[in-house]
Amino acid sequence: MNDGRFLFVDPHVVPFGGQAGAPVGQQDAVDRRAESPFSTYEAAIPDIISEANVYAPFASAMEWRIAQWAKKRGPSASAFNELLGIDGVLNALGLSFKNTKELNKIIDGSLPGRPAFVRQVLEVDGERYDLWLRDIMQCIRVLFGSPDWAADLLVAPEQHYLDDSRTTRIYSDMNTGEWWWRLQHKLEAKRLGATVVPLIISSDKTQLTMFRNRSCYPLYLTIGNIPKTIRRRPTRQGQLLIGYLPVTRLSHIKQDETRRRAISNLFHACLRAALAPARKPGRRGVNMPAGDGRVRRCHPVLAAYVGDYPEIVCVAGVKNGECPAGVVDPLSLGEPVPCTQRNLNDILDALSTLERTGDPVAHVQACQDAGIKPLTDPFWKDLPYVNIYASFPPDILHQLYQGMVKHVIAWTKQAYGARVIDARFQCLPPNHSLRHFSKGISHLSRVSGTEHQDICRVLLGTIVDLRLPGGQSSVRLVRAVRALLDFVYLAQLPAHTALTLSQLEDSLARFHANKAVFVDLGIRDHFNFPKLHSLQHYVSGIKMFGTADGTNTAQSEHLHITLAKDPWRKSNRKDEYPQMTTSVVRLEQIHAHALYIDWRLAGRPDAPIAPAAIPHKFRQHVTRYPMHKSLSFPVVESRYGAANFQQVLKEYIVRFKHPEISGRQLANIVSVYNLPFRSVSVWHKVKFWNQDAQKRREAPETLDVIHARPAYRDTQGRLAAGRFDTALVNEHGDGESIGVSGYRVAQVRVIFSLSKKAREIVFKNDANAPSHFVYLEWFSKFKSRPEANHQFYSVKRSCTADGQRLAAIVPLDSLHRSAHLLPKFGPTKPPEWTSDNVLDLCDSFLVNSFTDRHTYITVV
């Protein structure tokens, strides 16, 4: 389907050139380097205990670690005080603070400060509302000047290509998009040496309590100079909370139209106050030091506003149900028709009507003619180089998972019946990357984006052979679901080329071509809703701002926990915002001090060290000690279902020692060969570590686990079924990173190794001999192409002539990753099938390519 090979190679980079992003005084940049950010930080710490004390103002490493834990991971202030109040704890720990209050005093008084929150009061129709804001320019300086990502900071636009022929463009981070390149041209035309600082603003109202309807409205800031792999990780603090907006429905205003207009104007007044300090610097530029100490002339310019549809509508000033970015017939939102971009000049002219004429009626009419609401003073009106209608990037969470995926899941349940769908979800075999819905999906309420993501990993496999009511063909429905899932997975690729963008457009076209099946089934009357139309803008948005994984509102959802919910829980719930803002500042101070301590422990290096690139390769990991150190062959055969284990092991050893012999010769040798050992060591799982294609510069993460575990009794004495996962095996060692050629699916039964003595006897210390092995049962080889409509590969159990399952032993290194198999249910699911036995009772399967994004990229 897609060719993701370009994800695993370094692109050919074409820089913007000239002095774009150059330090001030480029010719003597080293001599004119500003003082190191860490040196400045160190100078701001009062009362350094001694040069030897790296952890000052804390007395020791232990005291610092306890303080760090208390603020980042620890319990409430009262619980921490109770702990320190236990007799002997303070003396045993040797702490200089006795309670939370004294710890806070050290943090507030001795650690360098962060941008402070200031309360502003806004008045609407006689009612006063609090707005908590930070100076956005101070926040930009913190983000741009952080030494944490100084080695990775993006200071100039680039064009990435697949190779030096420059024929295939690659889009990934924001600096590879067209927005930055075009703005750099405008700035360089006026004055050379500009550094663009793309501001990415996001807002999302969130609930603080399950009951009593307490909520808050955080406003977040990040900059496009920080690579998306860092921005996506909340622990790196690549996004800052810059304010809490007022949460109000203005219920004292009784007239609906007036109230809605007042809420909109209040929102814009808050954003205008937040962004006001960046107006002049955005136009003229301002010198700012980066994390490496070099000073650049920076232009902070609003690049993107990230939010859910209601917030984007409010930002754009358009009516609910319309496209915020462009103009399209409301009756054509569900069709693949072009969308005309809104004319910013006409809109600005309409907005100035009230100021020019002083006539409110003329102002309302002019705004209506321009296609927007009669806003009084939108925050983006005077921002330099900003076209707000071209500033709404794609949003995976709300537009895809909480938008289209949510709808298609509901439509599918209506088409086939929730009970039938639930039964199939319940008996799917387990996989490390998948959530098992033991009760189905129809009982779920308030389904999150993560749950929608988990559902769509297996949704298509549950319906491929279901019959629609009345005997209607399900081909169009299957094609529609497949097309949408293709769009969802392609939209999340960490990099895009013209080919993948074309595939993205093709998947949307296939969905439109088949979506009428839901109308024919009586499930939908029309498809004229904005979230379907928003998919039309994905290709242009990716070209403009880089890939969609860099502007996903899921990032804001994670920030809500540490920057809204946790600070609120630590407050006394009365006049909470001063306490919440103080908690946020202290959390940032602790993070900054941790970076400083790491710098001190590293010996005060002059320049930040770029992290080493992680090679894109697999490696397996098993625990140092086996689950069973010595299991006899009969026990292995009976407990793990490894039929003829001893015979198959003989065949492997003989074949390894004599790879050139024929099948008849192999059988003759095996018939007289006696193994010089009678037991093996056995493991129950193997972990796979793989460099995720979305995190090229980050540390590797556990991507996959394969289990091979027999039935056992749990801690409550209950019998737990055995689990023998299926894997993708590099059968002859010639499989590549993309595609199924050279691979074969097998069920892993035993993960084992030989004793040191047995290895010496059998392999004679051969350096090429594997250390760990896998006994597995083969499925049929992949066909040349997947099946039509659902585009899954089909496999069956491989058996010998006498009906026995075809088994083999291969080196552990041959396992590529897990492979999730979707059983072919047929029109009706057999009642005896369960999640525990379906792999044994079913004969035919589909290889699931939606297990995770890595599978979708590689198993094509």
Distances (CA, A) of 613 to 68, 600, 702, 858: 30, 24, 17, 21
Q: What is the pLDDT of residues 603-635, one digit of tens each?
A: 888 766 555 444 444 567 899 999 999 999 999
Contact 301, 183 (CB under 8 A): yes
- The pLDDT mean for the chain works out to 91
Q: What is the pLDDT of residues 151-166, one digit of tens each?
A: 999 999 999 999 999 9
Q: pLDDT at position 36, please?
A: 76
Q: What is the pLDDT of residues 246-279, one digit of tens each?
A: 999 888 888 998 899 999 999 999 999 999 999 9
Q: pLDDT at position 5, please?
A: 63
Once rounded to an integer, what is the mean pLDDT over residues 83-109? 93
Whether 321 has a pLDDT exceeding 60, the answer reads yes
User: Among 445, 440, 434, which residue's Cα sits nearest to residue 418?
Assistant: 440
Whether 4 has a pLDDT exceeding 70, the answer reads no
Contact 390, 301 (CB under 8 A): no
Q: Which residues pair with 672 in a beta bridge?
A: none
Q: What is the pLDDT of residues 430-470, one digit of tens each?
A: 999 999 999 999 999 889 999 999 999 999 999 999 999 88
Q: What are phi and psi of 232, to 5 degrees?
A: -75, -10
Once rounded to an integer, what is the mean pLDDT over residues 789-811? 95
Which residue shows structure tokens 């390149």?
Answer: 181
Number of H helices, E strands in the chain: 32, 30
Domains of the chain, residue spans: 46-110, 397-545, 618-858
Helix axes 498-514, 475-491, angle to 10 degrees: 150
User: Among 474, 485, 529, which residue's Cα sits nearest to residue 511?
Assistant: 485
Contact 812, 746 (CB under 8 A): no
Which residue shows structure tokens 């929730």?
Answer: 418
Q: Which residues pair with 346 in a beta bridge?
A: none
Q: pLDDT at position 694, please?
A: 39
Q: pLDDT at position 603, please?
A: 87
Residue 807 CB contacts under 8 Å (≥ 6 apart), including other chains = 642, 643, 644, 648, 749, 775, 776, 777, 778
Asked if the peptide bond before residue 46 counts as cis, ω within 30 degrees of 0, the response is no
Work out whether the CA dihedral 657, 659, 661, 662 comes out positive or negative: positive
Whether 28 has a pLDDT exceeding 50, the answer reads no
Q: pLDDT at position 711, please?
A: 94
Structural element, H or E, at residue 484: helix 475-491
pLDDT band at 537 (very low <50, low <70, confident <90, very high): very high
Residue 805 CB contacts under 8 Å (≥ 6 apart), including other chains = 643, 777, 778, 797, 798, 799
CA distance 346 to 673: 88
Q: pLDDT at position 273, please?
A: 97
* Position 662, amino acid: S
As a whole-number percent, the residues of the chain with pLDDT over 70 amount to 94
Contact 226, 184 (CB under 8 A): no
Q: Identify the residue with better confidence: 96 or 663.
A: 96
- Return the beta strands (E) in 663-711 as ranges: 679-683, 685-690, 701-709
Which residue shows structure tokens 């099948």?
Answer: 663
Residue 156's Cβ-count burial label (10 Å; 0-12, 13-18, 19+) is: buried
> β-pairing, 194-203 with 295-306?
parallel
User: Among 628, 631, 672, 629, which residue's Cα sits nearest to residue 650?
Assistant: 672
Q: What is the pLDDT of residues 687-712, one digit of tens each?
A: 987 655 434 443 345 578 999 999 99
Calculate ∠ Cα 428-431-437, nearest 5°: 45
CA distance 775 to 748: 6
Which residue shows structure tokens 């319940």?
Answer: 426
Q: pLDDT at position 729, please?
A: 95
Once rounded to an integer, what is the mean pLDDT over residues 223-241? 94
CA distance 391 to 158: 20
Q: pLDDT at position 617, please?
A: 47
pTM here is: 0.94
Distances (CA, A) of 597 to 36, 58, 699: 14, 11, 21
